[in-house]
A and B are shown apart, each in its own frame.
Chain A
Amino acid sequence: MSQVFKGRSILPATVEGQALVTRRGFNTLACFYKSILTHASTAVCGDQDNPELFGRVLTAQIICLPKSIGSTSAGATWDFVAKMGIAPAAMLFSEPIDSLSAAGLILADIWVGRRICTVDQLGAEFLAAVQTGQPLKIMTDGTVIFI
């Protein structure tokens, strides 16, 4: 039977894709900076301190994370990532969203017109259950289904 989790939908969208999981903080600037500077057509994680993500493609993935960490430059980073068309498809937070991610993802939505589906408060059980590569379906009400 499919596992189902319910979170709070912040930027609603219906998305299907594969999970890319980090159980430590997602450092937004460190993850995307190299891809931005090199004008990459696909974002590859450049955060050497995150072995779960380092070297993996971030574009069009469903990133599953507790919350983000790092520089207050995160807002501008998301703005650029969205503008370049190399953003993930969705961000699924197990904890309440942090101020830096909230700002960046909302900026991308309103100022670039690129929605990155965002759901938070999915709970520690969600992050414990989800594995990288797991096919997921996200509903607009914040429901996440393992398919």
Chain B
Amino acid sequence: MKLTQEENAIRKGSRGPVWQKVMNTLILYGEALHAECFVDIEWGGHFSIPFALPGVGPRLEMLTELAEAGLKTKYPFTLDPKAPIDFENLGLSAEQKRVFREMLRDQPAYDKRMLELGLRDENAYTCTPYFTEVGNRPPRGAILAWSESSCVVFVNSVLAARTNRNSSILDLLSNIAGKTPLTGLLTDEGRRATWRIDIKVLKRPHPQLLGAAIGRLVMDGVPYITGLDRFLRPDLDDETVDYLKEMGAACAAIGAVGLYHVENITPEAIDQGRRLLVAGAAHDAIDDGKLEALLASYPVMWKDTQAKPRKCFIGCPHLSLRELRGWADSIFDALQAEGRPRIAVETILCAAPHTISRFKADTESYMKLISAGVKLSPTCPEAYMNNPLCAKEPVITNSNKFRAFTSARLLLDEELIEAIVTGRINQSRDLK
């Protein structure tokens, strides 16, 4: 890589051994990815390393080494959702709590180190940092070094900021150095579409089912999606943004998509249209039949496939304010229609701490949820399932991302509401 004088000096140890290790890591990484040089990071980071769980977050010794050397990120950063320590919202048994306490025994020290390294504040934990109320919302064109696949694909596609799909720990080191290798999705060429995907369906599909279908087709390619604009508003209103958030999360988790373009909807597609497509781009179409087949292919991973659901998680990725209000209304209306006062399946809606605070200020919606027995939590449903005792429970969700990484069972929204309210799953879909 072509290095500046300063980068070269750091590489040789001008700022001490820890800085030297940071720079050497980034140089080797950039060379591996064929980057010619570094570019400066222009906005705060978002990282997928919120837990002290082994294998998921950095070792505490490493964070300590960085912090004690006085290193800190160039801009304040946000982290993925908090570990599941809000036991009061999660309905845990004593044994489940004990296991979580043991698994997360290093969490307080870990959280402290993160603050020292530049974490914005004690509430800066969510997988939707880009929502206005959370405030880590990069402007168009800003160079970033983010991780968390659902965040990367959202800021690249919907906000037209620029980040590669960074790995955990590399995200932190890049933001400490304030530099990231110039390659891939940071470049104009890397943002061009390598696939054209035509959506040929009769009604707007479930976003995380469509996202999974796209992700399976294109893997780490960049899809240019046509035909979806029939179902979305062109001005990126809240409903459209929420749809794209959900679709992108599934594209990224079930494939490895870091950027998509939706014709007439997303910023770069509006500006450049089909000129974004590379010559010889691959081409495929998704219709209702393919989506139905995909849904039917998902096995039920529960030990007892006929079990009654014990818990429901909604909000992977975290819900928006509009989505929280929508679920409150839907659950309330369904309860009224069934003549029931409270839900039959323990249900947890997950959202950013800032989003939950704003939602609580809307007393009418909040009271609907509370009176129905629904809980709100800032945690991550996937992290809940890291506890082996929790992973055994028959959990339902509408998140295909959550399903893909755990034993949770996917239900479409209407089926999910029916199950929450009645405690029964409509078995019309064949069990696999």
Q: In chain A, residues 66-121, which have Cβ atoms closer than 8 Å to a Cβ of chain B?
A: 69, 71-77, 79-81, 83, 96-100, 102-104, 106-107, 109-111, 120
Are B59 and A107 in contact, with the CB atoms below 8 A? no
**Binding stretch for chain B, among A29-37, A54-62, A130-138, A139-147:** A29-37
Which of A36, A69, A73 has the most B CB atoms < 10 Å from its CB? A73
A109 to B149 CA separation, bound complex (whole angstroms): 24
Are B29 and A106 in contact, with the CB atoms below 8 A? yes
Knowing A99-B184, A103-B169, say if A72 contacts B148 (CB, 8 Å).
yes
B168 at interface by CB-CB < 8 Å: yes
Write out the residue numbers on chain B whose beta carbons fall within 8 Å of the beta carbon of A103: 29, 166-167, 169-170
Are B55 and A99 in contact, with the CB atoms below 8 A? no
Are A76 and B57 in contact, with the CB atoms below 8 A? yes
> Nearest Cβ in chain A — how far from B114, in angstroms?
14
Are A97 and B32 in contact, with the CB atoms below 8 A? yes
Knowing A72-B148, A99-B164, say if A36 contacts B54 (CB, 8 Å).
yes
Write out the residue numbers on chain A whose beta carbons fall within 8 Å of the beta carbon of B169: 75-76, 79, 103, 107
> Nearest Cβ in chain B — how far from A71, in angstroms?
7
Please give the number of chain B residues whose Cβ is less than 8 angstroms from any Cβ of chain A in the complex.
Answer: 35
* Complex partner residue of B168 from A36, A72, A81, CB under 8 angstroms: A72
Number of A-B contacts (CB under 8 A): 102
Knowing A110-B25, A111-B21, say if A79 contacts B59 (CB, 8 Å).
yes
A109 to B184 CA separation, bound complex (whole angstroms): 24
Knowing A102-B29, A106-B29, say if A72 contacts B55 (CB, 8 Å).
no
Q: Can you name the residue of chain A whose Cβ is closest to the Cβ of B173?
A: A107
Are A102 and B32 in contact, with the CB atoms below 8 A? yes
Q: Can you name the residue of chain B whose Cβ is closest to the Cβ of A104?
A: B167
B220 at interface by CB-CB < 8 Å: yes
A97 to B190 CA separation, bound complex (whole angstroms): 16
A10 at interface by CB-CB < 8 Å: yes
| Given A72-B167, A76-B56, 10 further pairs, Cβ under 8 A | A37-B54, A69-B219, A72-B147, A72-B171, A75-B168, A76-B59, A79-B59, A79-B62, A80-B55, A103-B166
